[in-house]
Copies of this chain bind each other. A is one copy, B any other.
Amino acid sequence: MKKNYLLTPGPTPLPPEVCLAQAQPIIHHRTPQFQAVLKEVGEGLKYVFQTKNDVYILSSSGPGAMEAAVVNTLSAGDTALVVQGGKFGERWTEICKAYGIKAEVIDVPWGEGVLSAEIEKRLKAGPAIKAVFTTLCETSTGVANDIEAIGKVVGGTSALLVVDAISGLGAIDLQNDAWGVDICVSGSQKGLMLPPGLGFISVSAKAWKLVEQAKLPRYYLDLNRARKAWASTDTPFTPAISLVIALAESLKLMRADGLENIFARHRTMADATRAAVKALGLELFAPKAASDVVTAVKVPQGIDGEKLVKTMRDTYGVTIAGGQAELKGKVFRVAHMGHIGEFDIIVGISCLEKVLHQMGHSFVFGAGVRAAEEVFAGGKQ
A contact residues vs B (CB 8 Å cutoff): 4, 6, 8, 10-14, 19-20, 22-29, 31-32, 59-64, 67, 94-95, 98-100, 187, 189, 195-197, 216-222, 237-243, 313-314, 319, 321
How many copies of the shown chain assemble into the complex? 2
Shortest Cβ distance from A32 into B: residue: B314
Chain B residues in 8 Å Cβ range of A239:
61, 196-197
Q: Given contacts A4-B27, A19-B25, A59-B61, is CB(A195)–CB(B241) below 8 Å?
A: yes
Shortest Cβ distance from A97 into B: residue: B219
Distance in Å: Cβ of A166 to nearest Cβ of chain B: 9
User: Could you write out 27 A-B pairs with CB less than 8 Å apart?
Assistant: A4-B27, A6-B26, A6-B28, A13-B25, A14-B25, A19-B22, A22-B22, A23-B23, A59-B197, A61-B237, A61-B239, A63-B220, A64-B237, A67-B219, A67-B220, A94-B219, A98-B219, A99-B219, A189-B241, A195-B243, A196-B240, A196-B241, A197-B197, A197-B240, A197-B241, A240-B240, A243-B243
Distance in Å: Cβ of A266 to nearest Cβ of chain B: 19
Bound-state CA distance A181–B354 (Å) is 55
Bound-state CA distance A6–B6 (Å) is 36
Contact B98 A217 (CB under 8 A): yes
Chain B residues in 8 Å Cβ range of A237:
61-64
Chain B residues in 8 Å Cβ range of A319:
27-28, 31
Shortest Cβ distance from A95 into B: residue: B219
Q: Given contacts A196-B239, A237-B62, is CB(A4)–CB(B25) below 8 Å?
A: yes
Distance in Å: Cβ of A131 to nearest Cβ of chain B: 16
Q: Which of B31, B67, B187, B197 contacts A242 (CB 8 A)?
A: B197
Q: Given contacts A13-B25, A23-B22, A60-B60, is CB(A243)–CB(B240) below 8 Å?
A: yes
Shortest Cβ distance from A12 into B: residue: B26
Residue among A11, A59, A313 having the largest count of chain B Cβ atoms under 10 Å: A59
Bound-state CA distance A28–B23 (Å) is 19
